[in-house]
Amino acid sequence: IESVVNLIKERRNVVVLTGAGISVSCGIPDFRSKDTGLYSILDAEELGLSCPEELFDWEVFQESPQPFYTFARKLYFPLGSDERAKPSDSHKLLSLLERQKKLLRVYTQNIDGLEQEAGVSSKKIVYAHGSLQFATCLTCKRKVSAKEIEPDIL
């Protein structure tokens, strides 16, 4: 760890790649872990799906978005309460790097938006799998903040 700290101190342009591990400590499960991953804890049959992966099937969503909204609620409120997941120290480190003008870009596989929640500018983040931070109307293609539609889907 000391060598990584020294590298960061010495460099001006830091690029960070993140995945599920950065958010697991916030209570957000990864997708595929055997007993704790979202695919394990979501009951596909209860959601009317043949398998959990159908949550991300475009045709299934068009037919009924409700299973996806159930998934989104579990992601937003991972502990089953009305308290949102909070950014971890790792997310906060990304924000610190940006404030120090060292962060060039964050490439993330996560869709939870905790990087932005921690204070990282959206211009610095590339979401490899999209994000739950925004929603796009299927009819008119208008893009809005998820906070705008949150009461309707959560």
Q: Quote the CA–CA distance of 123 and 138 in Å, as a whole number.
A: 24
Q: Are 92 and 74 in contact (CB under 8 A)?
A: no
129 catalytic per annotation: yes
From the list 11, 99, 129, 147, the catalytic residue is: 129
From the list 107, 150, 152, 151, the residue with the least C-alpha distance to 132 is: 150
User: pTM for the whole thing?
Assistant: 0.81
What are the beta bridge partners of residue 127? 108
- Contacts (Cβ under 8 Å, ≥6 apart) of 23: 85, 88, 91, 110, 112, 114
For the stretch 17-75, pLDDT in tens is 999 899 998 888 888 888 888 888 778 888 889 988 898 899 999 999 999 888 888 77
Domains belonging to the chain, first-starting first, are 1-26+89-154 (3.40.50.1220), 29-84 (no CATH)
pLDDT bin (cut points 50, 70, 90) of residue 99 is very high
